[in-house]
Homo-oligomer: A and B are copies of this chain.
Amino acid sequence: MAMNSVGRGDTRPQADMASPPVATFTGNRGLQMEEGLIFEQGQDGRTAVDLPEPKTAELRIGNVKPRTSIGLPGLSEPQVIRHYTRLSQKNYAIDAGLYPLGSCTMKHNPRLNEAMARLPGFADIHPLQPISTVQGALEAIDSLADWLLKLTGMAAVAMSPGAGAHGEQCGMIAIDAALEARGDKRKRVLVPESAHGTNPATAAALGYAVEAIPATEDGRVDLEALKAKLGPDVAAIMLTNPNTCGLFERDIVEIARLVHEAGALFYCDGANFNAIVGRVRPADLGIDAMHINLHKTFSTPHGGGGPGAGPVVLSEALAPYAPASAVVRGPNGFTLVEHAEGASFGRMKAFAGQMGMFTRALTYILSHGADGLLQASSDAVLNANYVLASLKDTMSAAYDGPCMHEALFDDRFLKDTGVTTLDFAKAMLDEGYHPMTVYFPLVIHGAMLIEPTESESKEAVDLFIATLADLARRAKSGDAEHFTAAPRLTPRRRLDETAAARKPVLRWRPTEQLDEAAE
């Protein structure tokens, strides 16, 4: 590894010296702090904001009573800062290490994007200000939309969905609307077995019977099976491409042809668009709708679970059905269509979309440019194939390469070791790695889906590979306990999820209430 070939005394690649058990009074372990709930730290009357007295004590709240007590804890600012700083220190993050969660695209989140999203001209404008006072915001949305259209080759884009699943819903409603418009109500939606859970959930919510399409040996849609399932009551296929096994659907053009021939429409789950940006225009594959997770492909930060944004690109056939709000470029500047007009199917969300995500994504896109986006997807695919090639003999690859942006392994290499995929993942935590996505896609036994992304250096990927290889050797060598007892070096060890679900405790309650409840 380059990073260790120079310098001296770098301790990284050495095995860590085991230190003896140490008990502490506080429960803290050096810089790893124990921290109670915010509710356990409150005191009456204390607050971390200084506010002036209200100008009047008068109340004009009709027949509603003013509230007497809420139950919120009172803390000072230093306490709140410390509390959330400590909580943050219990999290893994891209900023701190490789985060190879397949399908989730944990790539670098540039801080420039954060700074730009916080310009008062973007952050401090209201969605219902007069249109004349938000021309820059509309232009930014329009620019981003223009990039998305050019990169996908599609006819239109609905910007408002709040995340990928919301985008799926938007796209599928558009398909519904188009079918309805031609008086052709259909009943079934075809979804590969390997699909992300949001696909069947979305289709089912719209009242469709969801039918699984099986996969071939090599991890793609079984074309013959698909043909057999297609028919006049199939409304759409929902296909992820590159698919959730990290593979490009080789027959996708043919699939599109067959789907259209059957009078159905083609919804493409674009969560993995990041593998092909700049290299393949989805329009050229024959799709009708695709959501783009700005929080994956265009790097708006995941933020511990959100927010995201899921604009949906649409074909000519679906464009008329796009929901409000929509930005329109006109001769005298930009306007915002805020009411569903014409064939528009309605509205997905209040206001005009996840503006804060748009500014970040646009900043990311302008920074990369056409050449950079192409290089990014190339590097993402290169890194994944490098992992696949380097580990396929040590671990067990689900499919031969080449893969796209993520490499899929199964648990055959753990056979008879007493180590499960979950154990293997937990041992990675002790090594300072967030595990890959595990047990997804469901079609692969003990699946491990590794997406390094383009943000990782070769040095980092090399160390990751070496670590996984070492763990695999260790598992095979019979040291199952190293895995089943893992993690042991994390802020918490394995958590009892069964107990959590059996008698759910979803919120803190003051002791008195708990006692009452127990009575």
Contact = CB atoms under 8 A, between A and B. Distances in A.
Interface of A: 2-8, 10-37, 39-41, 43, 50, 76-79, 81-82, 85-86, 89-97, 108, 110-111, 367, 429-433, 455-457, 459-460, 463, 466-467, 470-471, 487-491, 493, 508, 510-511, 514
A17 B489 CA distance: 12
A304 to B, nearest CB: 15
B510 A432 contact: no
Contacts of A460: 79
A3 B91 CA distance: 23
11 contacts: A2-B41, A11-B34, A12-B36, A15-B25, A19-B493, A32-B432, A34-B432, A78-B94, A79-B460, A82-B97, A86-B97
Question: Helix, strand, loop or mixed for chain A's interface?
Answer: loop
Contacts of A18: 21-23
Contacts of A20: 21, 488
Nearest to A20: B21
A25 B82 contact: no
B82 A89 contact: no
A276 to B, nearest CB: 21
A508 to B, nearest CB: 6
A122 to B, nearest CB: 16
Contact of A90 (B3, B31, B111, B467): B31
Contacts of A37: 7, 10
Contact of A28 (B17, B32, B367, B431): B431
B490 A5 contact: no
A511 B467 contact: no
Contact of A43 (B2, B34, B471): B2
